[in-house]
Amino acid sequence: MISPLAYIHPEAKIGENVEIAPFVFIDKNVVIGDNNKIMANANILFGSRIGNGNTIFPGAVIGAIPQDLKFQGEDSTAEIGDNNLIRENVTINRGTAAKGRTIVGNNNLLMESVHVAHDALVGNGCIIGNSTKMAGEIVIDDNAIISGGVLMHQFCHVGSYVMIQGGSRFSKDIPPYIIAGREPIAFSGINIIGLRRRGFTNEVIESIHNAYRIIYQSGLNTTEALKKIEDEFEKSPEIDYIIDFIRNSERGIIK
């Protein structure tokens, strides 16, 4: 299962049933779990931690040092969970002193030439389109769909179950359950099709929709809108998540 043409540092830890193709480079201080497939010319560098059941395509580079001039060689990691598809030429840099690690969770698809910068946190079940670039310390919550060619400013937060239009760029947070699109990027409705596919009931979808009508269409400022939702809406995990996400946004949300 391991090609004699691959280089594996003797200190690297490799699990069971791992397929490693020719010309793969695996550095020291690397831990790779079970049932992974690593295709030709992938580079798994110092500080990489890879779970189980992942497929890593040719040209991917995991664990390269951050593209951050503040980085001083400190020990840090790039951590990949389970059952991810990491396509050709994806780059996932390891962390800096800021957080110490970059994390990609489970069951994600990172398409060709995606870049995940230092100290980023990508949740579970996300689809990240071709050539999307994530700057340092961004956070993407579970089940987000980010189309191709998207540019994400550092420190931005993307909520769960969003759909972001291809070619978008943004420097503010994208709250959960919505579609974000147009130029400049703006709220473009809620992600009704995506929510239905994920099993959200019509009642929950309508509640989410009504909350965003208040946030984006009532003419109230953000503080007033959130207070109105708290006062008038029946409590639910979805409404609580929207309120907490927006209230805790450090960059502000898209308009």
Which residues are known catalytic residues? 118-119, 136
Measured distance CA(66)–CA(48) in Å, rounded: 13
CA angle 68, 72, 73 (to 5 degrees): 105
Measured distance CA(160)–CA(20) in Å, rounded: 34
End-to-end, the C-alpha distance of the chain in Å comes to: 51
Within 198-251, where are the H helices? 202-217, 222-232, 237-247
Measured distance CA(42)–CA(210) in Å, rounded: 47
